Amino acid sequence: MTTTPAPAERLAESPGLTACSLCAGETLGDLDPLPGGQLARLRILQAKGVARLTLSECLDECNRGDVVVARPTAAGRASGARPVWFQRLAGDRVTDALGAWLGGGGPGLAQLPAELDAHVIDRS
């Protein structure tokens, strides 16, 4: 019999997610129907065990609003993956796509969903 690890146990093996606490919620602003806005969505991903959420006071990309960085797991890093930066990542649709991608392993381990392509920041 196999058991599914609890969300807290899965977090240790989950990709990391860093969000700018100052720009979280900028993209949708007052039009966001979710109490707590985009930051609440990211906290839900952590509560589900999909990602380890870290809040930063500033990611130095202030003009891009709702900046989020997906950090690879140890296995992802071993495959050569690097962090993936996103801009204007807000709302249920893109956050659901982010959660599914991270749940599948994230950077280096899962294919980036098409819904997230337009949000990627080219850091090269």
Dihedral, CA of residue 31, residue 50, residue 114 and residue 60, to nearest 10: 60
Top pLDDT among 18 and 30 is at 18
Which DSSP symbol is given to 22?
Answer: T
pTM to 2 decimal places: 0.87
Q: Report the alpha-carbon distance of residue 85 to residue 114 in Å, rounded.
A: 15
Question: Taking residues 95-100, what's their average pLDDT?
Answer: 97
| pLDDT tier, 3 (very low <50, low <70, confident <90, very high otherwise) | very low
Pairing of strands 52-56, 84-86: unpaired
User: What band does 95 get if pLDDT is binned at 50, 70 and 90?
Assistant: very high
